[in-house]
């Protein structure tokens, strides 16, 4: 039912080619997961998502509990049936909302009380509640409840967040009942290598099906993030999948893959698509720009996505300028396919020892460029 295997490694880095097997299908790693916070990839149907090459998507337990409620989704057959996506799903625990919705929550050692960002109604989450919600949702992979501190943050607060994260991880492990779900622990500790190492040690003593590195892409520089991954990732169990949460520029993906990360998620493809930004191998296109008014070429000449096969840059610009809802959908389709093509090429080059060729084929992976 479940399994993870490392097929090969890049002889020049820590990159790993692997395969993750779940009850709803297999995932080739390194893999990128589009974010469907409320059980949907914004503006994209499940069929369209599958056609981009996506194998696994992410949902969010906090937001799905707020509306429509995990009990509703469970009564309607679980998140797969409810959303129409029959592939693997990973759900976040709601721990990131402890950070992102800090202005409407109160954190204690026992759990977190939120005020709904819709109507102000109180909502309480603790480790056991988060697991119960995710078990009702029925995702293939669920995450332990954690506390993600901001960067920068006082050392005492980071240490306190690690203590809560480990305590809640123990409670999550005890509360987890479903054998058809894998439970991942989340490593916290800010930019402190010693705290991160201690968190890894304690989480591995508890024992999880996979391990995530959380608390990054929340204020640190790229150099700080990569430096931390170089120290933390080798400490994670080699036989288990490794997941870097919330990180997803082409540069970050490549550099993190080289440090041994297997799974990623990020809102960038669809958020940028909704805002008229299209990813290409050489940089991002700002589709509202006047320069595309008469541009008859596709977003990217060698892209095999539906958008590039049928529509010009000029047409896409027209859709955004006139406010047509088709624009964000078509741009998001292309961006999702761009990310999946990038990961596919990384997986293709990885066993050959020529992973560095990716920056020749995808100059954007050297750093973001806007056109």
Beta-bridge partners for 371: none
Among residues 281, 321, 332, 355, which one has the least CA distance to residue 52?
Answer: 332
Whether 265 is catalytic: yes
Q: Are residues 182 and 312 in the same domain?
A: no
The single-letter DSSP state of residue 42 is T
Dihedrals phi, psi of 143, to nearest 5 degrees: -110, 145
Give the per-residue pLDDT at 371.
Answer: 53
> Which pair of structure tokens corresponds to residue 97?
């909302």
Give the H or E element holding residue 164.
Answer: helix 155-175
Q: Per-residue pLDDT tens, the chain, 371 aa: give them.
A: 899 999 999 989 999 999 999 999 999 999 999 999 999 999 999 999 999 999 999 999 999 999 999 999 999 999 999 999 999 999 999 888 877 877 878 899 999 998 876 777 888 999 999 999 999 999 999 999 999 999 999 999 999 999 999 999 999 999 999 999 999 999 999 999 999 999 999 999 999 999 999 999 999 999 999 999 999 999 999 999 999 999 999 999 999 999 999 999 999 999 999 999 999 999 999 999 999 999 999 999 999 999 999 999 999 999 999 999 999 999 999 999 999 999 999 999 999 999 999 999 999 999 865 55
Q: What is the CATH number of the domain that holds 62?
A: 3.20.20.105
Q: Are residues 152 and 7 in the same domain?
A: yes
If one counts every other C-beta atom within 10 angstroms of the C-beta of residue 263, the result is: 24
Residue 235 falls inside a structural domain: no
Give the per-residue pLDDT at 89.
Answer: 99
CB 131 within 8 A of CB 94: no
Whether 28 is catalytic: no
* From 86, 198, 265, 302, active-site residue: 265
Residue 199 falls inside a structural domain: no
3-state secondary structure of 38: coil
* From 71, 86, 92, 262, active-site residue: 92
| Chain centre distance of CA 275 | 19
Give the per-residue pLDDT at 115.
Answer: 81
CA dihedral 147→202→236→225, nearest 10 degrees, is 40
Give the domain extent around 157. 3-193+213-221
Q: Are residues 305 and 160 in the same domain?
A: no
3-state secondary structure of 177: coil
Give the per-residue pLDDT at 369.
Answer: 56
Q: Are residues 292 and 217 in the same domain?
A: no
How far from 84 is each of 51, 123, 308, CA to CA, in Å? Answer: 14, 27, 25
**Total-model pTM:** 0.97
Say how far apart CA 241 and CA 143 lie, in whole Å.
13
Residue 309 falls inside a structural domain: yes
How far from 202 is each of 165, 167, 326, 356, CA to CA, in Å? Answer: 10, 10, 48, 35
CB 356 within 8 A of CB 286: no
Say how far apart CA 40 and CA 85 lie, in whole Å.
9
The single-letter DSSP state of residue 140 is S
Residue 331 falls inside a structural domain: yes
Give the per-residue pLDDT at 99.
Answer: 74
> Which pair of structure tokens corresponds to residue 338?
């761009």
Residue 110 falls inside a structural domain: yes
């Amino acid at each position: 039912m479940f399994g993870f295997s490392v097929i090969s490694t890049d002889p020049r880095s820590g990159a790993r080619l692997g395969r993750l097997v779940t009850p709803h299908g297999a995932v080739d790693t390194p893999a990128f997961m589009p974010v469907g916070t409320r059980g949907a990839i914004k503006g994209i149907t499940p069929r369209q998502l599958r056609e981009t090459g996506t194998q696994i998507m992410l949902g969010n337990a906090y937001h799905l509990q707020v509306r429509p409620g995990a009990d509703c989704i469970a009564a309607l057959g679980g998140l797969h049936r409810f959303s129409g996506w029959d592939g693997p799903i990973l759900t976040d625990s709601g721990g990131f909302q402890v950070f992102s919705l800090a202005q409407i929550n109160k954190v204690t050692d026992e759990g977190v009380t939120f005020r709904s960002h819709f109507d102000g109604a109180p909502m309480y989450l603790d480790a056991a509640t988060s697991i119960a919600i995710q078990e009702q949702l029925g995702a293939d992979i669920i995450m332990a409840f954690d506390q993600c501190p901001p960067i920068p943050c006082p050392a005492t607060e980071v240490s306190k967040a690690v203590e809560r994260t480990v305590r809640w991880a123990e409670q999550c492990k005890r509360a987890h009942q479903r054998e058809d779900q894998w439970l991942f622990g989340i490593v916290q500790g800010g930019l402190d290598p010693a705290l991160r190492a201690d968190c890894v040690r304690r989480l591995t003593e508890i024992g999880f099906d996979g391990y995530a590195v959380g608390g990054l892409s929340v204020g640190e520089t790229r150099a700080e993030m990569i430096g931390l991954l170089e120290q933390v990732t080798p400490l994670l169990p080699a036989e288990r999948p490794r997941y870097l949460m919330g990180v997803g520029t082409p540069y970050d993906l490549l550099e993190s893959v080289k440090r041994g990360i297997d799974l990623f998620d990020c809102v960038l493809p669809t958020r940028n698509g909704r805002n008229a930004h299209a990813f290409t191998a050489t940089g991002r296109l700002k589709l509202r720009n006047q320069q595309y008014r008469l541009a008859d070429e596709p977003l990217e000449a060698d892209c095999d996505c539906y958008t590039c096969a049928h529509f010009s840059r000029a047409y896409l610009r027209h859709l955004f300028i006139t406010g047509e809802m088709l624009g964000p959908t078509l741009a998001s389709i292309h961006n999702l396919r761009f990310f999946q093509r990038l990961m596919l090429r990384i997986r293709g080059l990885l066993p050959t020892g020529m992973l560095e060729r990716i920056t020749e084929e995808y100059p954007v992976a050297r750093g973001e460029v806007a056109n």
